[in-house]
Amino acid sequence: MSSQTLQHCPCDFCGRDELAFSYLPDGSTRGLKVHVCRYCGLVQSTPRIARTRERHAAAVSGGADWGNVRYGKGFRTGAAMAALSRHADLTGNLALLDVGSNRGSFARAFLEAARGAQLTAVEPDERFAASCAGMPRTELVQARTEHTTFADASFDIVHSCHTIEHLAAPFAALKDHARVLKTNGLLVIDAPNIALIGGEDIVEEWFIDKHLFHFSARTLSRMIEAAGFEIVEQNDPADAINLLFVARKSGAPLETVAADPAESAAAMALMNRYQHTRARNLAALEMVARELEALKPKRVALWGAGRLFDMLVREGGYDPGTLSLLIDVHLKKHMAERHGVALAAPDALNDDTADVVVVMSRGFAEEISAEVRARAPGAEIILYADLLGRARLGRAA
């Protein structure tokens, strides 16, 4: 069955026909357009993809067509488990619903910590659902969460990690999470943070085809509360990448949503800043490529073959063929090469294989740099953020 779209698109949260067009994502294969609700401030893409059965090969792109690798959820398991342990007694006979279980990273961690618990894993993609098959104390449901029907008050905890932004109707999904939770049941929810697009070093397309809703801390917290929850742990304001909330079922959903003109104005300003900053950074990538190419004849290794690397090659014109190593711990598990260069594991890095290591990562630059120093203490380390900063200054001069 081909993708189904919702052509008439009032705001999913407030229900009003107040969507103002804001942005056309770079490289969208689904023709998505980004809008800001003038009434409540929720940023959302249309048309809304209700469902699709097509499965595509793993691909990494800096454009809107990025997707189908999906290893990032595993990075959030530690944060979710830490938050859950602060609000739940994991020694009891708990029932947990894991929405979008992916490769089962959270499910395994939860079952290890909560030895008396039962877990229901919901995952629509058969390629990843198999990861949860055969787990002890686990029922696997291979379906989209919108198509599941669980009994009222059947779970103590609902966990949802980087799933809500994919749904065609996230507000309805949150209300259904409240329905299936027992009285005082917990919701642990994690989603991408739109605050990231306000960063000075943004270069990749943030509004990807697989994400239909783009939450700020304000819009997601309001939607959670309106669905019938009381938030008991707020998102860390210092985290510009993720939004993590813990909420407790508290009552009936709100019938109406109040206007939020300040949030709407802030969202529109953020979108304008994103477009300006990204255009400036894209224009600077050619100078980044020239700086890297000027490092020859030194042996240059690059760590991080993901979206930033893709933009450097496609938009900056960088030729990666002269790299001594292209390292990516996670992508190497899913593909053999990137832009014609074989992917290497970290253990290939030492002082005999690299004089310079370029760290092409934003969120894990410190961790990668520490590992580089341990494996190749004599190598010079160059960070993506520093490269881009110098290139911007060079263009401004």
**For residue 122, which of 144, 137, 153, 104 has the smallest C-alpha distance?**
144
Bridge-based pairing of strands 341-342 and 337-338 is antiparallel
Phi, psi angle pair for 252, to nearest 5°: -75, 150
Q: For the purposes of burial, counting CB atoms within 10 Å of the CB of 57, is it exposed (0-12), middle (13-18) or buried (19 or more)?
A: exposed
Write the DSSP assignment of 358-392 as a string of letters. EE--STTHHHHHHHHHHH-TTSEEEEHHHHHHHHH
* pLDDT tens track, the chain, 397 positions: 234 444 568 999 999 999 999 999 999 999 999 999 999 999 999 998 755 555 555 668 899 987 656 556 778 999 999 999 999 999 999 999 999 998 889 999 999 999 999 999 999 888 777 778 888 998 999 889 899 999 999 999 999 999 999 999 999 999 999 999 999 999 999 999 999 999 999 999 999 999 999 999 999 999 999 999 999 999 999 999 999 999 999 989 999 999 999 999 999 999 999 999 999 999 999 999 999 999 999 999 999 999 999 999 999 999 999 999 999 998 998 899 999 999 999 999 999 999 999 999 988 999 999 999 999 999 999 999 999 999 999 876 5
d(CA 356, CA 343): 17
> In this structure, what token pair is assigned to residue 69?
């690798």
> In this structure, what token pair is assigned to residue 281?
């950074």
**For residue 387, which of 324, 302, 306 has the smallest C-alpha distance?**
302
* Angle, CA of 160, 161 and 166, to the nearest 5°: 90
Domains and CATH numbers, the chain: 4-259 (3.40.50.150), 285-396 (3.40.50.720)
Terminal C-alpha separation, the chain? 54
CA quadruple 345, 350, 354, 358: dihedral sign: positive
Our CA dihedral for 234, 238, 239, 245, rounded to 10 degrees, sits at: 0
Sheet containing strand 19-23, edge to edge, reads 19-23, 33-37, 43-46, 213-214
d(CA 351, CA 325): 12
Cis peptide before 47 (omega within 30 of 0): yes
d(CA 67, CA 41): 26
